Amino acid sequence: MRAELTSPHKEDHPMSLTRSRVPIRISMGLIALLLSAHIHAGAGVVATYQFQGTLAADEAGAPALTALNSGSFVTDTNVLGQTRTVYERMSASSDPTLQSALRLDTSSLSLTSNNYAVEVVFTFTDTLDPRAPGTNFRRIINSHDSSSAEDSGLYLGSRGGPSLLDIYQGGSHAGGPDLVNNTYYDLVLSVSPTGEQAYVNGVLAVGYSGLPDAIASNFLNFFLDNEGSSAYEYGNGKVALIRVFNSALTAEDVRLLNNDGDPFPAASVPEPSSVVLLGLGAFGLAGMMRHRRRAS
């Protein structure tokens, strides 16, 4: 999709070349890249996973995700309104040793344990929590060794009511909209020294002053529950995007990332300096053409 700058009299528009009659167009993709430069100026993307038939990162040198147990690449037709290849997690058991999950070794990403952010576009398709209906919890993100009994992390939780995002640390801190099965959501977890915030589709859902998701052992786990007495908080599902940032994000950063419901990178994204130069070059060219037209 492209946006053309127009006026009631196209030939009089200052962004048109009068001699060649070739209008200068600014693509929506360029606009999105220019906006993203604002985000990257404070928080850089260090790893992007789009699951286009691979668990490798888009960025050279970033580590690949590790698949834990069964999973496969499938095509889904309603991923935030798009048809995309996604990674489907399928397990017949909620036993922590059999859960279909993903793990990221962050040791090469130089993340600060209490200052980072992660974006996940995902859906759950069921719950395999064996406890009584209405008490279902499904873990989305945690930063602990899976063999630990540590129960902290970000969950989708239900206590007999809606399924809400739940930042759990010795107790629930839940909020946001009811997240239903078989619907994709754009989730952002932002971790800073002063606490954590979870966003859904660009809007703040819940915040908490603790740090249950400070990275404890160089790992970020996705959809993996812990072992121990509180295990089995697991559900099958699909994931379309994981993106990791090297510092916390602001609410405005998250809104821009969501991009009105289309958070997926359009293509290989230039470095922030290249984006800025590209934007300045485009506007500089337009100014030069206006100057030439006036001179003639």
Q: What topology is assigned to 44-262 in CATH? A: Jelly Rolls (2.60.120)
Residue tagged 């160089």 (tokens): 218
More confident residue, 194 or 34: 194
SS3 18: coil
pTM of the model: 0.78
AA identity, residue 242? I
Spatial distance between the Cα atoms of 27 and 291, rounded to a whole number of angstroms = 23
What CA–CA distance (Å, rounded) separates 33 from 22? 24
The helix (run of H) or strand (run of E) holding residue 41 is helix 28-42
Give the model's pLDDT for residue 170.
87
Integer angstrom CA distances of residue 111 from 14, 158, 215, 217, 224: 46, 32, 9, 12, 21
pLDDT of residue 230: 65
pLDDT surpasses 60 at 293: no
Mean pLDDT along residues 21-44: 50
Burial class (CB in 10 A: 0-12, 13-18, 19+), 98: middle
| C-alpha span between 58 and 65 (Å, rounded) | 11
Domain boundaries, the chain: 44-262
Q: For residue 22, what pLDDT is reported?
A: 38
Q: Which residues of 115-136 are buried (b: 16+ CB within 10 A; e: fewer)?
A: bbbbbbbbbbeebbbeeeeeeb
pLDDT number for residue 232: 84
Q: Residue 292 pLDDT > 90, yes or no?
A: no
> pLDDT averaged over the chain?
81
Give residue 142's pLDDT. 93
Q: Which two tokens stand for residue 120?
A: 């996940």
| pLDDT tens column, 90-137 | 999 888 889 999 999 999 999 999 999 999 999 999 988 777 555 689
- Number of residues that this document lists for the chain: 296
Percent helix, strand and coil across the chain, each rounded to 5? 20, 35, 50
Tell me the per-residue pLDDT of 197-207, one tens digit each, with 9 for 90 and over. 999 999 999 99
- Look at residue 158 in the predicted model and tell me its pLDDT: 84
- What mean pLDDT is predicted for residues 143-163? 82
Whether 191 shows a pLDDT value over 90: the answer reads yes
- DSSP E strands in 143-264: the ranges are 153-157, 164-168, 174-175, 185-192, 195-200, 203-208, 219-222, 237-245
**Cα–Cα distance for residue pair 86/70, rounded to 1 Å:** 14
The tens digit of pLDDT for each residue in 228-287 reads 666 789 999 999 999 999 999 999 999 999 999 999 998 544 444 444 444 444 444 445
On the question of pLDDT at 193 being above 50, the answer is: yes
Q: Are 73 and 53 in contact (CB under 8 A)?
A: yes
CB 296 within 8 A of CB 289: no
pLDDT at residue 26 in the model: 41
Query: What is the CA angle 117-28-250, rounded to 5?
Result: 25
Cβ neighbour number for residue 46 with a 10 Å cutoff: 20
